[in-house]
């Protein structure tokens, strides 16, 4: 658009009416007024404006004397507007964006320019305990879909003037608000520069899916399933990450924030580690790390041992199934993997009143009856249930599904090439992890590559002195 607002009231009214399509949209309101004998007009979106502020503004304007109006919008604001956030604007693009964002716009024959008044009240749910990232102890609040509320939750925990909230808009049509949150002096300046550059180069029509739409435009994953972002719905976890030097990316309409930069080992961290004594926190973290290996290698190794029962000592002979059944074992494993995911999807789409029926169907029909019919062996059901429980121990759903896909691939490779398939799959996965780059091209294996012993120890164990600190972030890998 990039055009200035005309100087005459009639031209201003015609231009804004056309751009905002007042006649076509029922919720785009243009209220005609008369201020001290001269025409005026208020533009706003029904549902975005607080009614009490609207009533106060209209009542004041109707009784305002003519000599108090002034000749410019700036003078009008200085003399008459008591609202904290009110500004003069002559750029049509900024005026339209302000109205579409929920601000109140006033034009009048008394003065040039437009007055934008902060009076928005977005429809939003209240702050409540998050569905994910639950903690046995700690705060019970969570981020919501309103970005102003989310920034306030961080400000409440970090009362430092160096805490910076950089706001930008992305999307030609949606013009979605995106905020970079960091502490100046703690976040890496070079990383911030790279991140700003990547955000400024994004060309998209809209971020309709919020943070997920932004994530897909920040980094191209291709066929690599490993996650490149950490998400959290907890303000305390986000604030602790900022104090350690991380950068938060907040997207309006998203009830979670992205934490950058990220490495593979950071997915083993959970907020519960820090709400318990160091010994308990270290134990929980080690259990979580061990479940990564259980989730990834348990079924491929078990299937490999069933192909070579002579490798098993007598004490482990029970591992080999007594009756493998008519269906090959690797197909049984893959079938159970697909069935479990089908049950997860069904649970998401099942009303609460029918959830108990779904549990009966999943537990009896797909479990017990499938064994009796001979579709699968009891060992398969037992071991896959164990792997599924271990998979849920991961706080990151994205990492859990990445491990699941690699586990299925390893099973297929073992079925095709025996032990060499397993070795080749592990090498392939290691190369994939080592070459995975996050936003800003940081190392995905930090602090292992480049090696930082102290940081590695802090990731593996919950040390007594662990507190939010000025930790250095991963160096860029060229």
pLDDT on residue 132: 76
Tell me if 41 sits within 8 A of 110, measured CB to CB: no
Q: For residues 182-205, b (16+ Cβ closer than 10 Å) or e, as one string? A: bbeebbbeebbebbeeebeeeebe
> Residue 474: pLDDT above 70?
no
pLDDT on residue 471: 42
Mean pLDDT, the chain, integer: 85
pLDDT on residue 161: 92
Confidence of residue 467 (pLDDT cuts 50, 70, 90): low
pLDDT on residue 235: 93
pLDDT on residue 354: 63
> Residue 472: pLDDT above 50?
no
Tell me if 267 sits within 8 A of 292, measured CB to CB: no
* pLDDT-wise least confident of 22-26, 51-55, 403-407: 51-55
For 228-231, the CB contacts below 8 A with 24+ separation are: 228/262, 228/436, 228/438, 228/439, 229/258, 229/259, 229/260, 229/262, 229/398, 229/438, 229/439, 230/258, 230/259, 230/260, 230/262, 230/266, 230/267, 230/396, 231/256, 231/257, 231/258, 231/259, 231/396, 231/398
pLDDT (tens digit, 9 = 90+) per residue, 169-220? Answer: 999 888 899 999 999 999 999 999 999 999 999 999 999 888 889 998 988 7
- Whether the full predicted model's pTM is greater than 0.85, yes or no, is no
pLDDT (tens digit, 9 = 90+) per residue, 298-330? Answer: 999 999 999 988 888 888 888 888 777 788 899
To the nearest 10°, report the CA torsion of 125, 127, 133, 138: -170
pLDDT on residue 28: 92
Q: What number is the average pLDDT over the span 230-248? A: 92
pLDDT (tens digit, 9 = 90+) per residue, 134-153? Answer: 787 878 889 998 898 999 99
Is the model more confident about 72 or about 102? Answer: 102
pLDDT on residue 355: 63
pLDDT on residue 476: 43
The 3-state secondary structure of 366-434, one letter per residue: HHHHHHHHCCCCHHHHHHHHHHHHHHHCCCCHHHHHHHHHHHHHHHHHHHHHHHHHHHHHHHHHHHHHH
Confidence of residue 111 (pLDDT cuts 50, 70, 90): confident
pLDDT on residue 166: 95
Q: What number is the average pLDDT over the span 396-413? A: 93
Percentage of the chain with pLDDT > 90?
37
Q: Where are the domains of the chain?
A: 9-117, 147-263, 274-434
């Amino acid at each position: 658009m990039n055009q200035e607002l005309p100087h005459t009231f009639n031209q201003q009214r015609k231009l804004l009416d056309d751009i905002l399509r007042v006649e076509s949209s029922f919720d785009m309101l243009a209220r005609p007024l008369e201020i001290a004998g001269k025409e005026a007009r208020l533009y706003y979106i029904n549902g975005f404006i607080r009614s009490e502020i609207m009533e106060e503004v209209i009542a004041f304007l109707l009784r305002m004397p003519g000599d108090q109006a002034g000749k410019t919008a700036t003078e009008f604001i200085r003399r008459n507007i008591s609202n904290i956030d009110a500004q003069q604007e002559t750029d049509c693009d900024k005026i339209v964006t302000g109205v579409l964002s929920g601000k109140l716009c006033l034009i009048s024959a008394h003065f040039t320019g437009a007055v934008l008044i902060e009076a928005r009240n977005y429809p939003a749910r209240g702050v409540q305990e998050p569905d994910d990232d639950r903690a046995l102890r700690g705060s019970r609040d969570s981020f919501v879909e309103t970005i102003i509320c989310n920034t306030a939750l961080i400000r409440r925990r970090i009362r430092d003037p160096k805490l910076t909230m950089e706001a930008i808009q992305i999307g030609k049509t949606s013009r979605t608000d995106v905020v970079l949150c960091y502490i100046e002096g703690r976040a890496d300046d070079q990383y911030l520069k790279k991140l700003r550059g990547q955000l400024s180069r994004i060309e998209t029509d809209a971020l309709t899916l919020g943070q997920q739409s932004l994530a897909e435009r920040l980094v191209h994953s291709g066929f690599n399933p490993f996650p490149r972002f950490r998400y959290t719905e907890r303000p305390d976890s986000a604030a602790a990450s900022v104090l350690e030097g991380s950068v938060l990316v907040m997207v309006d309409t998203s009830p979670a924030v992205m934490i950058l930069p990220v490495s593979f080992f950071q997915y083993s961290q959970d907020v519960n580690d820090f709400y318990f004594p160091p010994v308990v926190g270290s134990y929980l973290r080690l259990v979580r790390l061990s479940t990564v290996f259980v989730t990834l290698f348990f079924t491929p190794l078990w299937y490999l041992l069933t192909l070579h029962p002579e490798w098993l000592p007598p004490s482990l002979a029970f591992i080999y199934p007594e009756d493998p059944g008519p269906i090959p074992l690797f197909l049984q494993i893959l079938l159970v993997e697909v069935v479990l995911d089908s049950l997860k999807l069904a649970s998401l789409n099942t009303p609460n009143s029918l959830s108990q029926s779904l549990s009966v169907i999943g537990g009896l029909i797909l479990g017990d009856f499938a064994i009796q019919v001979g579709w699968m062996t009891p060992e398969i059901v037992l071991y896959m249930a164990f792997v599924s429980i271990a998979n849920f121990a991961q706080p990151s759903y994205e990492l859990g599904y990445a491990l699941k896909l690699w586990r299925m691939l390893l099973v297929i490779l073992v079925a095709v090439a025996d032990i060499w398939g397993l070795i080749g799959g592990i090498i392939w996965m290691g190369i994939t992890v080592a070459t995975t780059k996050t936003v800003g091209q940081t190392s995905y294996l930090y602090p292992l590559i480049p090696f930082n012993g102290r940081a590695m120890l802090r990731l593996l164990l919950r040390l007594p002195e662990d507190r939010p600190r000025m930790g250095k972030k991963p160096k860029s890998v060229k």
